[in-house]
Amino acid sequence: MTSVNIPPILLVGGGKMGAAMLAGWREQGLAPSVVVDPAPAATALGGSGVTVVSGAEAIPADFRPQAVVLAVKPQNAEAALPLYARFGGPAVMLSIMAGRAIAGMRALLGGAAVVRAMPNTPAAVRQGITVACAGSGVSEDQRGLCDTLLRAIGTVAWVQDEGLLDAVTAVSGGGPAYVFLLAELLERAAIEQGIPPALARQLGRQTVAGSGALLAASAQDAAELRRAVTSPKGTTERALAVLMAEDAWPRLVSEAIAAATARSRELAG
């Protein structure tokens, strides 16, 4: 029988990220917990000690979570967060909402202790990267609990400057989409060069997945790994001359991250 390593949790929002986190906690041994989500599909998250309810009013009166994980859409924060202010104090509020600043969330939560975090979708296979920032009033025990919850889905880094989370959102929060786009474009380009579609997809997906695994396993800098693949006057060098031109990848990636960072700041209001 799996030992209980994670105390009772109230998860508000059972979407993809919320579900991924819940699965990670279950693997670590989760005490009886509650998920709030009105979507009919969320009922599938129930069982094994997890109760799913459709709204805050249906949370059992005797339920005492040690953490409330806020996994709702940022635009719904004003309406949703005040419903959970009553759990503040004993419970720490762990938000994974993009762009929502700690001060604004604390105001909506009656001054509760808030940790703001930005995970990413590889959390679904426990390979995520999360950057977190603890607001004022968060105790060492509460920070430790949040660290445990986030490590159940991958690697965790902590920062003191909350402002960095906007750029983190742009880089790692949205990063999987950029990587998937690369696989998509490799597949498309392969088809344009006459490679059959099934093989083109296999080449694009496995090249991205395998390169990521190599990067994760290597102590070398990414630039060093790139140079190791690039033979002088070879095919890769010819391709990189196009991709690394002044008006190509270097500039576009910088502009893309800047745009996403700006949007994260806009969401904070």
pLDDT for residue 1? 45
How confident is the model over 164-191, as pLDDT tens digits?
Answer: 999 999 999 999 999 999 999 999 999 9
Domain boundary among 165, 190, 214: 165
In Å, how far are 7, 129, 219 from 146, measured between CA atoms? 11, 14, 28
155 with 191, same domain: the answer is no
Determine, yes or no, domain membership for 243: yes
How confident is the model over 54-111, as pLDDT tens digits?
Answer: 999 999 999 999 999 999 998 899 999 999 999 998 999 999 998 899 999 999 999 9
pLDDT for residue 99? 86
- By the 8 A CB rule, do 119 and 130 touch? yes
CATH of the domain at 34: 3.40.50.720
pLDDT for residue 121? 95
156 with 47, same domain: the answer is yes
Structural domain count of the chain: 2
Give me the domain span that covers residue 79: 9-165
Instruction: Name the average pLDDT for the chain.
Output: 95
In eight-state DSSP terms, residue 15 is S
Domain boundary among 115, 133, 165: 165
179 with 229, same domain: the answer is yes
Q: What strands lie across the sheet with 154-158, from one edge to the other? A: 50-53, 33-36, 9-12, 67-70, 92-95, 114-118, 128-134, 154-158
Burial of 104 (0-12, 13-18, 19+ CB in 10 A): middle
202 with 86, same domain: the answer is no
Q: How far apart are CA 195 and CA 199, in angstroms?
A: 7
25 with 147, same domain: the answer is yes
Alpha helices in the chain (DSSP H): 16-28, 77-80, 102-108, 140-151, 164-168, 175-192, 197-217, 222-229, 235-243, 249-267
Q: How far apart are CA 215 and CA 201, in angstroms?
A: 21
User: Is the pLDDT assigned to residue 41 strictly greater than 60?
Assistant: yes
pLDDT for residue 269? 61
Structure tokens at 96: 């994974």
How confident is the model over 12-21, as pLDDT tens digits?
Answer: 999 999 999 9
